[in-house]
Structure 1
Amino acid sequence: MKILLVRLSSMGDLIHTLPAVEDLSKNRSDIELHWLCETGFSDIARLHPFVKKIHEMGWRKWRKHLGKSETWHEIGRLKTRLDQERFDFVLDSQSLIKSAIFAKMANAPVFGLDRQSAREPLASLCYREKFNVPKGKNAVWRNRELFAQVFGYQMPSEMNFGLNVPNEGYLNGLPAQYFVALHATSRDSKLWPLENWLALLQKLYEDTGNLIYLPWGNDTERQRAEEIAAKFPFAKVCGRMNLLQAAYLLDNACGVVGVDTGLLHLANAFDKPLVGIYTDTDPVKTGVQPSKWAVNLGNIGQIPRVDEVFEQLKKSIAVKNGTV
Structure 2
Amino acid sequence: MGDIIYTTPVVRCLKQRFPDAEIHFLTKEQFKYIYQNNPYLTKLHLLKPRLFDTISSIKAEQFDLIIDLHNNLRTSIIKAVTRIPSSTYKKDRIHKWLALKFKWSRFISSKHLVDRYMDTVKFFGVENDGKPIDYYISKNYDIQELLPPSHHQKFITFIIGATHFTKRMPNNQIIEICRGINLPIVLLGGADVKENALEIKAALGDQVYDTCGSINLDQSVFLVSKAHKVIGFDTGLTHISEAFNKPLASIWGGTTPELLGVSPYQISDSLIVGIELPCRPCSKFGLEQCPLGHFKCMKNIPPDPIVNFINS
Indicate whether the TM-score tops 0.5.
Answer: yes
User: Which of 73, 78, 84 is matched with 1:108 structurally?
Assistant: 84
1:75 partner amino acid: L
- Structure-1 residue corresponding to 2:306: 309
TM norm structure 2: 0.77
User: Which of 245, 263, 271 is matched with 1:288 structurally?
Assistant: 263
State which drifts further: 261-270 or 21-30: 21-30
What secondary structure does 2:42 align onto?
A: strand
- Structure-2 residue corresponding to 1:97: 73
- Structure-1 residue corresponding to 2:202: 230
- Structure-2 residue corresponding to 1:257: 231
| Superposed counterparts of 1:122-161, under 5 Å | 136-147=110-121, 149-156=122-129, 158-161=130-133
What secondary structure does 2:11 align onto?
A: helix
Q: 1:275 to 1:194 in 2, by over 3 A?
A: same
Q: Larger strand proportion, structure 1 or 2?
A: 1
- Structure-1 residue corresponding to 2:246: 272
Q: Are the aligned partners of 2:250 and 2:273 in contact in 1 as well (CA < 8 Å)?
A: yes
Q: CA deviation at 1:171?
A: 4.8
- 1:249-274 deviations in Å (ceiling 9; x for gaps): 21111111012211111112322111
Q: CA deviation at 1:103?
A: 4.0
Q: CA deviation at 1:276?
A: 0.7
Larger RCO, structures 1/2 (Cα 8 Å, 6+ apart): 2
Q: Are the aligned partners of 1:201 and 1:212 in contact in 2 as well (CA < 8 Å)?
A: yes
Please give the alpha-carbon distance, in whole angstroms, between the structure 1 residues aligned to 2:84 and 2:270: 40
Q: 1:241 to 1:53 in 2, by over 3 A?
A: farther
Q: Are the aligned partners of 2:245 and 2:268 in contact in 1 as well (CA < 8 Å)?
A: no
State how many pairs are aligned: 268
- Structure-2 residue corresponding to 1:41: 31
Q: CA deviation at 1:105?
A: 5.3
Please give the alpha-carbon distance, in whole angstroms, between the structure 2 residues aligned to 1:57 and 1:23: 24
2:172 is aligned with 1:198: no
- Structure-2 residue corresponding to 1:16: 6
Please give the alpha-carbon distance, in whole angstroms, between the structure 2 residues aligned to 1:43 and 1:104: 29
Q: CA deviation at 1:76?
A: 3.2
- 1:57-91 deviations in Å (ceiling 9; x for gaps): 15xxxxxxxxxxxx5xx433322222221212111
1:216 partner amino acid: G
Q: 1:162 to 1:258 in 2, by over 3 A?
A: closer
- Structure-2 residue corresponding to 1:61: none
Unaligned runs of 5+ in 1: 1-10, 59-70, 122-133, 316-324
Q: CA deviation at 1:153?
A: 3.0
Please give the alpha-carbon distance, in whole angstroms, between the structure 2 residues aligned to 1:136 and 1:199: 33
1:312 partner amino acid: F
Please give the alpha-carbon distance, in whole angstroms, between the structure 2 residues aligned to 1:153 and 1:216: 36
RMSD: 2.5
State which drifts further: 263-272 or 294-303: 294-303
Q: 1:288 to 1:171 in 2, by over 3 A?
A: farther
- Structure-2 residue corresponding to 1:177: 154
- Structure-2 residue corresponding to 1:28: 18
1:161 partner amino acid: I
- 1:85-107 deviations in Å (ceiling 9; x for gaps): 12121111222232222345555
1:170 partner amino acid: Y
- Structure-2 residue corresponding to 1:56: 46
- Structure-1 residue corresponding to 2:135: 163
Q: Are the aligned partners of 1:138 and 1:285 in contact in 2 as well (CA < 8 Å)?
A: no
Unaligned runs of 5+ in 2: 95-107, 281-295
Q: CA deviation at 1:235?
A: 0.9
Q: 1:16 to 1:162 in 2, by over 3 A?
A: closer
Q: Are the aligned partners of 1:171 and 1:248 in contact in 2 as well (CA < 8 Å)?
A: no
- Structure-1 residue corresponding to 2:62: 86
- 1:212-245 deviations in Å (ceiling 9; x for gaps): 11122134x0111111112211211115333222
